Amino acid sequence: MSDTAVMTQGLTKSYGRVKALRGVNLNVKRGEIFGFLGPNGSGKTTTIRCLLDLIRPNGGTLRVLDLDPQAEPVAVRARIGYLPGELRIDDNLTVESALRFLNALRAGQADWNYVQHIAERLDLDLKPQFKNLSKGNKQKVGLVQAMMHRPELLMLDEPTIGLDPLVQREVLHLVAEAKAGGATVFFSSHILSEVQEIADRVGIIRQGVVVEVAETDSLIHRAMRRVSVRFEEPIDLDVLARLPGVKVLKRDDGTSVLLQVEGKMDALIKALAAFPVSDFETERPSLEEIFLAYYAA
Amino acid sequence: MNTIFRFALSRTRGQIIGWGVTIALLAWIVVWFYDPFKEQQQQWIDLLKTFPKEIIGLFGDLNEMFSTKGYLDLQFFVFLPPLLGIFAVLAGSGLLVSDEENGTLDLILAHPVSRTALLAGRGLAFVVVTVTILIMSWLGLVLPLGASSLTLTPGAAALPFVSLFGVVLFFGSLALLFSMVLPSRKLAASAAGLLLVVSFFVSSLANFVRDLKGAAQLSPISYYQSASAINGLNTGWLIGLLAGAALFTGLAGWLFQRRDIRVAGEGSWRLPFVKRRNPRSEVERGKA
């Protein structure tokens, strides 16, 4: 058994003239939580659907839990829990009958006590018909069916969308518990704060190509920082602008300046030591800012 | 496949009751109406002779109208192919694609269910539903026979339904195949429905329009025996219809194996002259 849960190499997919995937390379390790980020239309859902054999790529290699999803789709899906980006279930079923049907498709793999346990944690009533549920409650049904059989690999497309903050927190706990139980979690999200909170690594996809994969902390730490400095008297700010890796973002009358610093802070700090500094603040960008930076590039 | 089959069957209770009861009631009325109809035999013949020959052709041989076979043919069995054909076309075209279009197929195929098992489970459910409807219709025909002067045994009465079974499966599987090649379920049902109607009229009009006899040989409904099956089932025709159904189903299954499952609302290839109505699919493909 390799230590890779999901592998794609050179994955391509076109819809007519539109190239949805242009060579996606991914390597998700077993037991990690991997956040997959990208705007609408970047190829996140297309990648996930290729991994599930719902759509067939035009080229490239895929492996899920060491299996080829096209050659062994049933075996792959038996070990996966999937939450679609848009969950649709037969409207006339009750929540309970829908979950029992989906469990029956898995030959009753899920322990019903555990199903009820997750439902309770997410505050989900099993009695109503699916069509009468709010968007948030429908999402909860999706989460329960994805997690109820304790899969080796969880593939969650926007798991917390439509959920209130308390339930979002509970979902993150469930994901963390799944990881603690040995599962791998591969999820896409637009809520970057939660990706930042739980993902071990992040992959950023843009226009069908993965542009960055890194550990979440590393991505944040090596990114550019913002430094705000206030001086007791006006100084020549050009001195700072000439420092390597430093860019002046905003300046006023020479007594305060906002800088962007890439790389080490040492040169800037030593330069500032020559001036009477009254205030100094440094701020790491959020994952959102890093993400947006990839799209501004 | 068992779960798929049971679930598909559970969703068709309404269809079974609706179609089965309706046709059974129709059969009941037809049987009940025979004796009053026969009492006025001469008046009916005189009336029908005033109709254009094209209309008379739809009724078949007027002299046969009052025999058991002729009466049941004219009043009941001849209309069953287009009637049950509607059921077949709607059921067949929606067997896979209706769930794809409403977005529920995604989740089902994200479970350990092969596409073959999905098609087989649902196909089997379609066959069971068809057989159940036909049995209910047969019961509607045979139960009141004791109170009628129609001379027909239950066994003989079953044979036209066996022939009809072949027709229903033929058009159901044709609609299924169309749903795999055409952009939407509606288009597939329309195309199959159109062929059903054309087939029915060509077969009926060929009785007196010589030029249509060649075309009628291509019409599947020409291989439906109707009430003449009472005198003996043509197993060759039945096997031909079932073989056609098997071929269409096999082709549909082959296409389904290779098909990208659409996300709900994504649409599919479109006819060149039809504008795409769903802007969401444009955004998803990064065009917006």
Question: Which of B56-70, B110-124, B162-176 comes out lowest in average pLDDT?
Answer: B56-70
What residue numbers bound the domain in which B55 lies?
2-284
Number of domains in chain B: 1
Closest chain B residue to the Cα of A57, Cα to Cα: B260
CATH of domain A223-296: 3.30.70.920
Kindly determine whether residue B264 and residue A86, on different chains, have CB atoms separated by under 8 Å: yes
CB atoms within 10 A of CB A189: 22
Kindly determine whether residue A40 and residue B284, on different chains, have CB atoms separated by under 8 Å: yes
Query: Is B285 in the A-facing interface, judged by CB distances under 8 Å?
Result: yes
Q: How far is A79 from chain B (nearest CA, A)?
A: 8
Mean pLDDT across the stretch B73-98?
A: 93
Find how far residue B30's CA is from the centre of its chain.
21
Bridge partners (DSSP) of residue A229 are A257, A280
Closest chain A residue to the Cα of B282, Cα to Cα: A41
User: Among A22, A42, A58, A88, which would you mutate to test the B interface (most chain B Cβ atoms within 10 Å of its Cβ)?
Assistant: A88
Identify the pLDDT of residue B280. Answer: 47
Kindly determine whether residue A56 and residue B113, on different chains, have CB atoms separated by under 8 Å: no
Share the mean pLDDT of chain A: 89
Those residues with Cβ within 8 angstroms of residue B179's Cβ, 6 or more apart along the chain or in another chain: B92, B93, B94, B95, B96, B97, B185, B188, B189, B252
Task: Say yes or no: domain A4-220 is CATH 3.40.718.10.
Answer: no
Those residues with Cβ within 8 angstroms of residue A97's Cβ, 6 or more apart along the chain or in another chain: none
Answer positive or negative: Cα dihedral of B89, B93, B96, B99: negative
Query: Is B258 in the A-facing interface, judged by CB distances under 8 Å?
Result: yes
Strand A184-188 and strand A33-37: the pairing is: parallel
Per residue in B163-192, pLDDT tens? 999 999 999 999 999 999 998 999 999 999
Per residue in A28-66, pLDDT tens? 999 999 999 888 788 888 999 999 999 999 999 999 999
Token digits for B15?
């269809």
Mean pLDDT across the stretch A89-107?
A: 93
The values of phi and psi at residue B271, to 5°, are: -65, 145
